[in-house]
Amino acid sequence: MVAIRASKLPWNDRSGRFSLTKALSLALTLAPAIYLGTLAVKGMIGGASSALGPRPITEAIHFTGDWAIRFLVASLAVTPLRRILNYPKLIQIRRQLGLASLFYALGHFCLYVADQKFDLMRVLSEIVLRYYLTIGFVALAGLVSLGFTSTDAMIRRMGKAWVRLHKGVYLIGVLAALHFFMQTKADVYQPTLISGLFIYLMIWRIAHAQGFNSTSLRVLLSLSVLAAALTAITEYAWYSLATNIPADRVLLANLSFSNSIRPAWWVLSVGLVLAAISKARNGGKRGAAGKSRCITKSGERYSLAS
Q: Any idea what DSSP says for residue 251?
A: H
Query: Cβ 75 to ligand HEM, closest distance in Å?
Result: 11
Residue 124 vs 161, nearer CB to ligand HEM: 124
Residue 68 vs 270, nearer CB to ligand HEM: 68
Residue 45 vs 129, nearer CB to ligand HEM: 129
Closest-CA residue to 25 (of 14, 43, 17, 13): 13
Query: Cβ 158 to ligand HEM, closest distance in Å?
Result: 23
Query: Cβ 86 to ligand HEM, closest distance in Å?
Result: 29
Residue 65 vs 287, nearer CB to ligand HEM: 65
Query: Cβ 127 to ligand HEM, closest distance in Å?
Result: 6
Q: Report the sign of the C-alpha dihedral through residues 50, 133, 93, 84, in that order.
A: negative
Query: Cβ 69 to ligand HEM, closest distance in Å?
Result: 4
Residue 31 vs 276, nearer CB to ligand HEM: 31
Residue 130 vs 286, nearer CB to ligand HEM: 130
Query: Cβ 74 to ligand HEM, closest distance in Å?
Result: 12
End-to-end CA distance of the chain: 36
Which chain residues interact with ligand HEM by CB under 6 A? Answer: 58, 61-62, 65-66, 68-69, 72, 101, 105, 108-109, 112, 127, 133, 136-137, 139-140, 143, 176, 179-180, 183-184
CA distance 68 to 140: 10
Residue 220 vs 304, nearer CB to ligand HEM: 304
CA distance 245 to 228: 21
Query: Cβ 194 to ligand HEM, closest distance in Å?
Result: 8
Phi, psi of 18 (to 5 degrees): -60, 135
Alpha-helical (H) ranges within the chain are: 20-46, 56-84, 94-115, 120-129, 131-148, 152-158, 160-166, 169-183, 189-209, 217-242, 247-252, 263-282, 288-291
Residues contacting 95, CB < 8 A, separation 6+: 150, 303, 304
State the Cα torsion 264-268-274-276 to the nearest 10°: -160
